[in-house]
Structure 1
Amino acid sequence: MIDEVALLVNPRSGQGGGAATAVRALRFLRAAGVSVRVLVGRDATEAQALAHRAVAAGTGALVACGGDGIVNLALQAVAGTGTPFAVIPSGTGNDHARMLGVPRHDPIAAARVLLDGVARPIDLGRAGDRWFGTVFAGGFDAKVTERTNRLRWPRGKLRYNLALVAELAALRPLHYELELDGERVSTSGVLVAVGNGASYGGGMRVCPGAVPDDGLFDVTVLGAVPLARLVRLLPRIYPGTHVARPEVTTYRARRVRLSAPDVVGYADGERFAPLPLVCECVPRAATALVPS
């Protein structure tokens, strides 16, 4: 059991339910005898600074309460340190919680991991000077997320679905130049995903074979397919059966250089940087608290 933690909260996650989730977890942990310091930033920059200060001050664990975005902020602070992190999910995607086996619909069960869970060393991806835990998206998927973030209405999954329809209407294959541990691949496609974990977008198993402690990325490349075939293929991504289709090629690599025109890369649902970009898998870069 860890007796002192910093709770990094995004109160706006889960369409505003993040604050209520944090309160439930906070009451449970304090009742169990855990000293909890609550960190709430006015924006992502301040939240990031609070997380770094908590780790530098020697907190027993950094606990991210919210969606995958706040977990990504926590990873920037704990990567390469001895400070473990935990997840109390309250977002719309919660793919870090999926990856780590943390209960996604019960904040008390998620918080209980701090009392009786175990420490698990995991790999992280590094793209430029930023870390990610789940999947780096560099194609049609990233364009959907970029459009989703520009929309102000509707909220939640409906906003994503609207962006998806708009990007499908504008779909054009991209020319990709990949370098996978030194091996060069030139191809045309609509999607390249670099997975430290299996899923993104709320359970879409785009890299279904990826596990976050094997020292390698799983890379999924969806080739240049007509719109009608893509629409039929997209539902297969949720269970991960798309990788059996001839339109899909998969690779495994520790270092991936990804280049394509007019694409901004996203990871953990967060905007990273325009391509080209190098993703490197860093073994055992962080320690996660997970159910025993």
Structure 2
Amino acid sequence: MEPPAPGAGPDRPGPHDGDPGAGRIWLARAALLGGVLVPLVAAGLRGVLWVLLGVAGLALTGAGLWWTLAHTGAVRACGAALAVAAPLTVLGLYATHGMLGPAVASLALVLLAVAAAGRVLSPRSRAGGAAPAPATAPRHPWILMNPHSGGGKVGRFHLVERARAAGARVTVLTGRQDVTALARRAVAEGADLLAVAGGDGTQALVAEVAHENDLPFVVIPAGTRNHFALDLGLDREDPAAALEALTDGVERRVDLGFAGDRVFVNNASFGTYAAVVGNPGYRGAQLRTALHDLPELLTGERTPRLRMRSGHRRAQGLQAVLVSNNPYRYAVGPGRGHRGSLDSGLLGVLCVHVDNTVQAARTAGGRKGGLTRLTGTEVTVDADAATVPVGIDGEHVMLPVPVVCRIVPGALRVRVPRGRGAPRGSRPSADWHRVLHLARRSGPVWHHRPHTTGG
């Protein structure tokens, strides 16, 4: 009898067992190898120089961006010019010497490797996870709606009228009302489901009340970004579709993050970003406010340097710490960061320490530089100050230090429309460390589990 394939077993299929994951592993390896070989085939050993030229262009672009963000006046102008000129020069040299085509082909193959590896490494592609439970229709649903979120999506999509037609009691925010108090009053008056049509910050406040009372929670993506809705698999371009969860929904349990006693559904951001968000002018002029504040925040003394500890990991002198409810994965392209899962029981942690041009160039050139990524169930953020600015799902607060961030697995009952809330964990993401790790492995990766800490 033929022996089983290496690594195969009751829970570890071999490469010939018909599982598509094995094919994706080999596709990732072949595409990554092709991405390396294309410049070598096109230019021989000179292909190595072309690769190094591309890396140098990235490093110079990173240095230019650092000067743009961390300085003002002539230095900022020179940095902006360098950030634009470096990539254009590299592309021009590629085109002049007939290497633009091979460079594009090499990049396409590397992206294919990323996509294939991301599918294999996705928790939900390796293990399907528990199917969402069917949910009975609520008798007294309550929905809080912010008419100003997302440029007026509540009015544009007629959400108030549609929600009331579905049998929900609707409260429309007017002015600076206490969102938490409104949600608790709704529960006291008999609400058996809580929902929010608004931004992530408002959703987090109502989600906390739903968690306290073990009530189902519905997200209606009527905000500007709605990262939580995105990672739940909801259509942010059609917020009215989320109302179907009231009459034909399924329920799943997702994790909640806590920063001190404050709930976050997406992340808690400490340091630079939180300080920018705290500027009263940020809401009206985000880019201008950020460019005005960042030089002092990155290189001056306005924001206290942070310390972080999680298990045996320590970091200090940090400019920013981002703690997320489940780890984010960052795909190629702007705005493509997402979470592969909302029920891993782990916090994601991103620490930033970039003090000079060299570190900025190292980071942009593909090396870790000033970025540290890890995961854990508890993270403590401290500083040499009594309080620190924190962005809780984009809302600015000041919290006393040290701030203990933790995750509560399965804390929130989320209801989504049947067939619409597909978990985003099945979508590929670009994790270069894992792609290279996958390429080096001699067999399929079937027993990968997230670590409590990691680089």
How does the TM-score come out when normalised to structure 2?
Answer: 0.53
What's the offset of the Cα at 1:81? 2.4
- Given the alignment of the two structures, is residue 107 of structure 1 paired with residue 239 of structure 2, yes or no? yes
What's the offset of the Cα at 1:169? 2.0
- Given the alignment of the two structures, is residue 190 of structure 1 paired with residue 319 of structure 2, yes or no? yes
**Greater strand share, structure number:** 1
Match of 1:161 in 2: 287
Match of 1:20 in 2: 155
How far, CA to CA, are the matches of 1:44 and 1:209 in structure 2? 31
How far, CA to CA, are the matches of 1:44 and 1:127 in structure 2? 23
CA contact (8 A) 2:362 2:368 kept: no
- Given the alignment of the two structures, is residue 177 of structure 1 paired with residue 307 of structure 2, yes or no? yes
Give a deviation string over 1:86-109, Cα, whole Å, max 9, x none. Answer: 111222221221121221111222
How far, CA to CA, are the matches of 2:380 and 2:282 in structure 1? 33
Query: Structure 2 counterpart of 1:195, which letter?
Result: S
RMSD: 3.0
Residues 44, 255 of structure 1: alpha-carbon distance in 2 compared, 3 angstrom cutoff: farther
Give a deviation string over 1:90-131, Cα, whole Å, max 9, x none. Answer: 222212211212211112222223333321111111122221
Query: Per the alignment, in what secondary structure is the counterpart of residue 214 of structure 1?
Result: coil
Give a deviation string over 1:3-43, Cα, whole Å, max 9, x none. Answer: 5311101122223x04405x622333444xx3111123445
Query: Structure 2 counterpart of 1:107, which letter?
Result: P
What's the offset of the Cα at 1:80? 3.2
CA contact (8 A) 1:39 1:51 kept: no
Match of 2:251 in 1: 119
- Given the alignment of the two structures, is residue 141 of structure 1 paired with residue 273 of structure 2, yes or no? yes
Match of 2:147 in 1: 11
How far, CA to CA, are the matches of 1:258 and 1:127 in structure 2? 10
What's the offset of the Cα at 1:259? 1.1
Query: Structure 2 counterpart of 1:285, which letter?
Result: A
Query: Structure 1 counterpart of 2:194, which letter?
Result: L
Structure 2 gaps of 5+ residues are 1-136, 329-333, 422-455
Give a deviation string over 1:51-78, Cα, whole Å, max 9, x none. Answer: 1121233323111011112212212211
CA contact (8 A) 1:175 1:186 kept: no
Q: Choose from 187, 190, 194 the match for 1:62.
A: 194
CA contact (8 A) 1:168 1:227 kept: no
CA contact (8 A) 1:11 1:18 kept: yes
Residues 48, 230 of structure 1: alpha-carbon distance in 2 compared, 3 angstrom cutoff: farther
Query: Structure 2 counterpart of 1:247, which letter?
Result: G
Query: Per the alignment, in what secondary structure is the counterpart of residue 178 of structure 2?
Result: helix
Match of 1:216 in 2: 346
Match of 1:287 in 2: 413
Match of 2:434 in 1: none
Higher Rg: 2
Query: Per the alignment, in what secondary structure is the counterpart of residue 396 of structure 2?
Result: strand
How far, CA to CA, are the matches of 1:198 and 1:113 in structure 2? 26
CA contact (8 A) 2:359 2:370 kept: no
- Given the alignment of the two structures, is residue 272 of structure 1 paired with residue 397 of structure 2, yes or no? yes
Query: Per the alignment, in what secondary structure is the counterpart of residue 2 of structure 1?
Result: coil
Query: Per the alignment, in what secondary structure is the counterpart of residue 182 of structure 2?
Result: helix
How far, CA to CA, are the matches of 2:306 and 2:371 in structure 1? 14
How far, CA to CA, are the matches of 1:160 and 1:232 in structure 2? 27
- Given the alignment of the two structures, is residue 249 of structure 1 paired with residue 372 of structure 2, yes or no? yes
CA contact (8 A) 1:9 1:70 kept: no
Q: Give the number of aligned pairs.
A: 270
Residues 269, 261 of structure 1: alpha-carbon distance in 2 compared, 3 angstrom cutoff: farther
Query: Per the alignment, in what secondary structure is the counterpart of residue 80 of structure 1?
Result: helix
CA contact (8 A) 1:189 1:225 kept: no
Query: Structure 1 counterpart of 2:198, which letter?
Result: G
What's the offset of the Cα at 1:141? 1.6
How far, CA to CA, are the matches of 1:110 and 1:230 in structure 2? 42
Give a deviation string over 1:196-254, Cα, whole Å, max 9, x none. Answer: 0556xx9473xx55632111101111222426865996xx8xxxx98x73432111111
Residues 115, 43 of structure 1: alpha-carbon distance in 2 compared, 3 angstrom cutoff: same
Residues 143, 152 of structure 1: alpha-carbon distance in 2 compared, 3 angstrom cutoff: closer
**Greater helix share, structure number:** 2
Residues 189, 177 of structure 1: alpha-carbon distance in 2 compared, 3 angstrom cutoff: closer
Query: Per the alignment, in what secondary structure is the counterpart of residue 79 of structure 1?
Result: helix
Match of 1:151 in 2: 281
Query: Per the alignment, in what secondary structure is the counterpart of residue 158 of structure 2?
Result: helix
- Given the alignment of the two structures, is residue 82 of structure 1 paired with residue 214 of structure 2, yes or no? yes
Q: Which moved more, 1:52-61 or 1:102-111?
A: 52-61
Residues 184, 232 of structure 1: alpha-carbon distance in 2 compared, 3 angstrom cutoff: closer
Query: Structure 2 counterpart of 1:5, which letter?
Result: P
How far, CA to CA, are the matches of 1:231 and 1:72 in structure 2? 36
Residues 204, 269 of structure 1: alpha-carbon distance in 2 compared, 3 angstrom cutoff: farther
Structure 1 gaps of 5+ residues are none
CA contact (8 A) 2:282 2:290 kept: no
Give a deviation string over 1:150-205, Cα, whole Å, max 9, x none. Answer: 0177x3xxx22122212322222863322214x35132232210010556xx9473
Query: Per the alignment, in what secondary structure is the counterpart of residue 147 of structure 2?
Result: coil
Query: Structure 2 counterpart of 1:167, which letter?
Result: D
How does the TM-score come out when normalised to structure 1?
Answer: 0.80
Query: Structure 2 counterpart of 1:87, which letter?
Result: V
